[in-house]
């Protein structure tokens, strides 16, 4: 897996580096969001988003690339202020209002679930309604402050933070929230099952966790992308990144980056994953937003 980030990989793809002004600064803001971006532990810097960022950096020459660990509030504040900032921690489908500062989709992943700790022997439901949970159990849901939750934000907007749901700030949010669920201090959170599995395998928890599909989510997959500041500088960088992605996304070295954390091991589901990859990622070749089509099976 790590070999795909070497000079051998550069030679394999045949992608010509995209030039920029000499030594132009480019700060890559990174969230603690394993296994997409991993900032601690034995797999530090080896998440899929880490790999994609390094893949792009190796072909985006002429910049002074620098990675910084930040929280979500700073990430979106600095993007809004037009600073020389980009991030791989971006949701392609949550930013349909503006396509100018977001790249073509970089990868697909299974969407958010409602996660709870397995504190009893009761069988957890496989499907839950977010709206009903917020109404019936106010305060039971704990969320990461400042993090966008894709299509679910429209539901959360109808409820009052601090009353119907709680928030937690900081950098290592996913792990910290799971620890609160593990100790019974919160009932639910919204998280990716892939993140939960990674943290459970690499952390210290007393209990296991259950992932329930969210009834209000029309699609079971999401798509990530690179976002840069929405200004002339950001538009130029995104155009360069799009050229890299168009030349690389269907290559074997690029596809190999998906294997470690996100491609299902079951042969049938793996085959469907790559079909989704074709339909919802490779077929997106212009800046015009291409929405997801009919509902797709979940990972549950």
pLDDT tens, position by position, 167-180: 998 767 888 999 99
User: Looking at residue 124, what is its pLDDT?
Assistant: 85
User: Looking at residue 298, what is its pLDDT?
Assistant: 65
DSSP 278: I
Convert the pLDDT of each residue in 22-81 to its tens digit.
Answer: 678 999 999 988 899 999 888 999 999 999 999 999 999 889 999 999 988 899 899 999
Q: Which residues contact 287 (CB under 8 A, 6 or more apart)?
A: 99, 100, 104, 242
User: Looking at residue 60, what is its pLDDT?
Assistant: 95
How many CA atoms lie within 13 Å of 74's alpha carbon, on the beta-carbon side?
Answer: 14
Whole-angstrom distance, CA of residue 70 vs CA of residue 28:
10
Q: What is the DSSP string of 198-252?
A: HHHHHS--SS-EEEEEETT-S-SEEEEEEEE-SSHHHHHHHHHHHHHHHHHTTSH
User: Greater confidence, 18 or 162?
Assistant: 162
3-state secondary structure of 127: strand
At 89, list the tokens. Answer: 């921690």
- Of the candidate ranges 37-46, 100-109, 215-224, 277-286, the one whose mean pLDDT is the lowest: 215-224
Instruction: Tell me how many helices (H) and strands (E) the chain has.
Output: 10, 11
Smallest CA-to-CA distance from 116 within 102, 100, 128 is with 128
3-state secondary structure of 60: strand
């Amino acid at each position: 897996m790590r070999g795909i980030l070497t000079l051998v990989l550069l030679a394999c793809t045949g992608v010509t580096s995209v030039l920029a002004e000499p030594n132009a600064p480019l700060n890559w803001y990174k969230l603690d969001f394993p296994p997409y971006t991993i900032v601690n532990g034995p797999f530090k810097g080896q998440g899929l988003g880490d790999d994609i960022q390094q893949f792009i950096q190796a072909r985006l020459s002429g910049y002074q690339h620098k990675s910084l660990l930040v929280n979500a509030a700073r990430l979106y504040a600095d993007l809004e202020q037009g600073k020389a900032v980009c991030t791989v921690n971006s949701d392609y489908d949550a930013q349909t209002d503006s396509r100018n500062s977001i790249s073509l989709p970089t990868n697909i992943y299974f969407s958010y679930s409602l996660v709870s700790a397995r504190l009893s022997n009761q069988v957890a439901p496989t499907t839950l309604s977010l709206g009903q949970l917020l109404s019936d159990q106010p305060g039971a849901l704990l969320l990461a402050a400042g993090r966008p939750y894709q299509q679910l934000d429209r539901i959360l907007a109808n409820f009052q933070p601090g009353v119907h749901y709680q928030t937690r700030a900081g950098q290592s949010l996913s792990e910290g929230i799971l620890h609160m669920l593990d100790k019974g201090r919160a009932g639910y959170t919204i998280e990716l099952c892939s993140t939960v599995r990674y943290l459970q395998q690499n952390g210290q928890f007393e209990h296991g966790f259950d992932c329930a599909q969210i009834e209000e989510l029309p699609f079971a997959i999401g798509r990530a992308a690179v976002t840069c500041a929405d200004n002339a500088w950001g538009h130029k960088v995104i155009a360069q990144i799009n050229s890299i992605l168009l030349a690389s996304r269907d290559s074997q070295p690029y596809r190999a980056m998906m294997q470690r954390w996100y491609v299902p091991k079951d042969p049938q589901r793996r085959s469907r994953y790559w079909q989704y990859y074709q339909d919802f990622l490779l077929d997106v070749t212009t800046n015009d937003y291409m929405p997801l089509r009919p509902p797709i099976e979940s990972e549950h």
